[in-house]
């Protein structure tokens, strides 16, 4: 039987964590009882520097539930870093790893299906069957994002977030990628290996607040685009050529108006230099700055996360086995 670790990133999730702990424990115990996974399988909750009682709840659960383990960051490093930390630690002894958000909007009943398919593929993507629980704007923006990423040549699985199963060899291959700018939705497909999909209906959030408001969603999209594609840089050159063409046309138009006596003093210079060229320069500098900032982060080689407390590594598999079979 394969040893499973379910990795759950948490950030200020005290409102949903009691329910998540209960549901995931029941599911994992059921899988163990059915001999679908090894008795040494575990839950791994990664506290991403929460400011509420998230870690206290995880630490308390570990006292009474030997299936539960946890990682606590020294500060907030971000959702993608929390996922990566969980995969890094779990890959020490797990055969298969599943990542799922703490709010459990992703259907945990898809997990047994993923495990059943793990004999056929190294990566099993959880894919939303529909986006009917989303607002119109979120459905539209998601469609535009996936279309844009596809157009830029970035390989992604539409409507698949971070709910996925990965084999140990797939995780180890992912961990060999040295990037500090983490965008796992684009990095996992780079690993290759056979893949499968499990479709499910996403549930509405039962408590707490979303950790991805519009501002963070836009930043996440920009990070994904600039981490995987140089097309925006080429677009700057094309835009520059286009602006030069427009400038020449406006110059000819201005000369015609001057010779016909219809020119207004200063109109041409304002139109061409201030508005058109100024706007293009700001856009170009912003795009270039985004790429330079990524190079800046990469060359510093700072750690992607710092673990303050690790109860997963402290807990030996045979200890888990004794407690879960009791």
Residue 228 near residue 186, CB atoms below 8 Å: yes
Residue for token digits 């407390």? 309
pLDDT of 88-131, one tens digit each? 999 988 999 999 988 888 888 889 999 999 888 999 998 887 66
pLDDT of 83 > 70? The answer is: yes
Phi and psi at residue 90, to the nearest 5°: -65, -30
* H or E segment and range at residue 237: helix 231-259
Phi and psi at residue 41, to the nearest 5°: -70, 150
User: Given CA atoms 139, 141, 144, 146 in this order, what sign does their dihedral have?
Assistant: negative
Residues 6+ apart with CB under 8 A from 232: 225, 226, 287, 291
Question: Could you tell me what percent of the chain has a pLDDT over 90?
Answer: 16
Please name the fold of domain 4-211+304-324: Spore Coat Polysaccharide Biosynthesis Protein SpsA; Chain A (3.90.550)
Phi and psi at residue 44, to the nearest 5°: -125, 110
d(C-alpha 290, C-alpha 148), whole Å: 18
CB atoms within 10 A of CB 267: 12
pLDDT of 134-152, one tens digit each? 666 666 666 676 666 666 6
Residue 1 near residue 325, CB atoms below 8 Å: no
* H or E segment and range at residue 69: strand 68-73
pLDDT of 326 > 50? The answer is: no
What are the sequence ranges of the domains in the chain?
4-211+304-324, 231-300
Give a three-class secondary structure readout of 84-131: HHHHHHHCCCCCEEEECCCCCCCCHHHHHHHHHHCCCCCEEEEEECCC
pLDDT of 257-315, one tens digit each? 667 766 566 665 666 666 666 667 767 777 777 777 767 666 767 777 788 888 887 76
Radius of gyration of the chain (CA): 25
């Amino acid at each position: 039987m394969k040893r499973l670790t379910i990795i759950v990133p948490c950030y200020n999730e005290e409102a949903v964590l009691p329910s998540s702990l209960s549901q995931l424990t029941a599911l994992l115990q059921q899988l163990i009882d059915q001999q679908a996974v090894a008795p040494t399988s575990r839950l791994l909750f990664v506290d991403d520097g929460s400011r509420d009682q998230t870690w206290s709840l995880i630490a308390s659960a570990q006292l009474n539930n030997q299936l539960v383990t946890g990682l606590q960051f020294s500060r907030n490093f971000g959702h993608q870093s929390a996922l990566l930390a969980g995969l890094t630690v779990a890959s020490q002894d797990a055969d298969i790893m599943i990542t799922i958000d703490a709010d459990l909007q992703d259907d945990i009943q898809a997990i047994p299906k993923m495990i059943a398919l793990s004999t056929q593929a190294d990566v099993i993507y959880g894919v939303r069957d529909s986006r009917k629980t989303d607002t119109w704007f979120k459905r539209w923006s998601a469609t535009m994002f996936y279309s844009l990423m596809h157009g830029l040549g970035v390989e992604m699985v539409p409507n698949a977030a971070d709910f996925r199963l990965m084999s140990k060899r797939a995780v180890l291959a992912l961990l060999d990628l040295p990037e500090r700018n983490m965008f796992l939705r684009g990095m996992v497909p780079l690993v290759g290996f056979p893949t499968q999909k499990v479709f499910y209906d996403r549930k509405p959030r039962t408590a707490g607040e979303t950790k991805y408001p519009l501002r963070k969603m836009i930043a996440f999209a920009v990070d994904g685009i600039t981490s995987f594609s140089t097309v925006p840089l080429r677009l700057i050159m094309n835009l520059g050529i286009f602006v030069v063409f427009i400038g020449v046309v406006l110059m000819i138009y201005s000369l015609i108006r001057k010779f016909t006596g219809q020119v207004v003093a200063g109109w041409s210079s304002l139109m061409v230099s201030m508005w058109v060229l100024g706007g293009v320069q700001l856009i170009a500098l912003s795009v270039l700055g985004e790429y330079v900032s990524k190079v800046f982060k990469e060359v510093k080689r700072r750690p992607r996360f710092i673990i303050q407390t690790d109860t997963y590594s402290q807990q030996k598999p045979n200890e888990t086995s004794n407690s879960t079979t009791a």
